[in-house]
Chains A and B, each alone.
Chain A
Amino acid sequence: MTDAPEAPQIRPATGAAYSRILGVGGYRPVRVIPNSEVLTWIDSSDEWIRTRSGITERRWAGADETVAEMSVQAAGKAIAQAGIDPAQIGAVVVATVTHLKQTPAIATEIALRLGCPTAPAFDISAACAGFGYGLNLADGMIRAGSAEYVLVIGVERLSDLTDKSDRSTAFIFGDGAGAALVGPSDTPGIGKVIWGSDASQKDVITQTEAWDTAFALDGAVNGPGEETRWPALRMDGQPVFRWAVWEMAKVAQQALDAAGVTADQLGAFIPHQANMRITDAMIKALKLPASVPVARDIAETGNTSAASIPLAMERMLESGEAKTGDLALIIGFGAGLVYAAAVVTLP
């Protein structure tokens, strides 16, 4: 009797025990758009905009400040802080909804310009939750052994999707890029990412038209402003506000619980910079202790969707409001509706 031949076995991939953010960087466009300039497009007032959103100014990108250019600038800072060679980057993940070409992904151009032209590179569409989605992928890749270092970028030129004649959204959006270099760690640096969606509300934040119908309308879709190039973003404020505050407060609490961290142990709360009113109401719903510093970058940056969390993180670290090694609760939420929250160690 002979033994049956042994079935061939796949050698398992092995990764790092844990991952963490090793560097963060942002890019803010040069051009500042104060509320006074917005008021030349819409019938409103500075006070109305401030009380509805907390925004005093935002940055809008110029022609040279492309999605790729802003990303490369932000990523360069994150890579420098991490202290690695760009050639070591094992994946480039770009969260954006404003790279206005469906293929190829902008991630490949960014990888080429950064000096990691052979790394896997792809874009993800998860709107204002995009950074958290990317972070979750990065953490999984590093621990699974499919990459040692992962670059996660959130970047938007929302000015391209802004209808300047829509008084409910024209003042909200801004442009910019934020990047995080994620790598292996001996200690946990990214808590379990609580992510998900509420697809039943897919229409409460959406572009006005699909491309084919927009083309058929011959540009008329964007209204009298006519400077917007693509179908603009529309938002139904009340349902978004309710979901973003009370449902997201629950998600934020789940992220704290999953990480085994209590709110008073946080060194920073960095919610997606959607609207200062959402941030304030979420703080109340979450019963966040007043001692925890809260990101309020929206006042001068506007809502930059996927870029807002890393931009706000960079600002808090630069200003000294938060410190390297502090625990931060981050939560992104937006069109889909989709969300992602986690406790992370600040780089």
Chain B
Amino acid sequence: MAQDKDAVLEGLAEIVNEIAGIPTEDVALDKSFTDDLDVDSLSMVEVVVAAEERFDVKIPDDEVKNLKTVGDAVDYIVANSNS
């Protein structure tokens, strides 16, 4: 069963908050991880690994570079999550 998009956004915002200290309300679909939220490339990997665990999804290294915005990540997780 696919994950609910709003629930994924909420969960992802909590992860980004915990790893990069960004307020959850700033983590919106149109925000770029690097340009708007100042999540650097290594923190991005931490976000990805935490998201994999939370949403039961595999996000391969090759895919990480395509996840430019929060919306990209939410869409990928919704489409690929096993839970």
A binds B: yes
**Chain A residues at the B interface, C-beta cutoff of 8 Å:** 51-52, 237-239, 241-242, 245-246, 275, 277, 281
Beyond the given A51-B40, A242-B61, please list 7 additional residue pairs across the A-B interface where CB-CB is below 8 A: A52-B40, A52-B42, A237-B41, A237-B42, A238-B45, A245-B46, A246-B49
* Set of chain A residues within 8 Å of B46, measured between Cβ atoms: 245, 281
Residue pair B49, A238 in contact (C-beta under 8 Å): no
The answer to whether residues A238 and B40 also contact, given A246-B49, A281-B46 and a CB cut-off of 8 A, is: no
Give the A-B pair count, Cβ closer than 8 A: 28
Binding site for A on B (CB under 8 A): 40-42, 44-46, 48-49, 61, 64-65
The 3 A-B residue pairs with the shortest CB-CB distance in the complex, in nearest-first order:
A239-B61, A241-B45, A242-B45
Q: Which of B40, B42, B44 has the most CB of A within 10 A?
A: B42
Ordered by A's residue number, 25 sampled pairs between the chains whose C-beta atoms are within 8 Å are A52-B40, A52-B42, A237-B41, A237-B42, A238-B41, A238-B42, A238-B44, A238-B45, A238-B61, A238-B64, A239-B61, A241-B41, A241-B42, A241-B45, A242-B45, A242-B48, A242-B49, A242-B61, A245-B45, A245-B46, A245-B49, A246-B49, A275-B42, A277-B42, A281-B46
Classify the interface of chain A: helix, strand, loop or mixed: helix
Note all chain A residues with C-beta closer than 8 A to B41: 237-238, 241
Q: Which residue of A lies closest to B64 (CB)?
A: A238
| CA A238 to CA B65, docked complex, whole Å | 9
Residues in B whose Cβ lies below 8 Å from that of A239: 61
Q: Give A12 Cβ to nearest chain B Cβ, in Å.
A: 48
Which residues from B are CB-within-8-Å of A237? 41-42
Q: Which residue of A lies closest to B44 (CB)?
A: A238
B19 CB to nearest chain A CB (Å): 10
Kindly report which residue of chain B lies nearest to residue A237, judged by CB atoms: B41
Residues on the A chain within 8 Å of B40, using CB: 51-52
Chain B minimum-CB-distance residue to A243: B61
Contacts of B61 in A (CB 8 A): 238-239, 242
Shortest CB distance A234–B (Å): 15
- Closest B residue to A238 using CB positions: B45
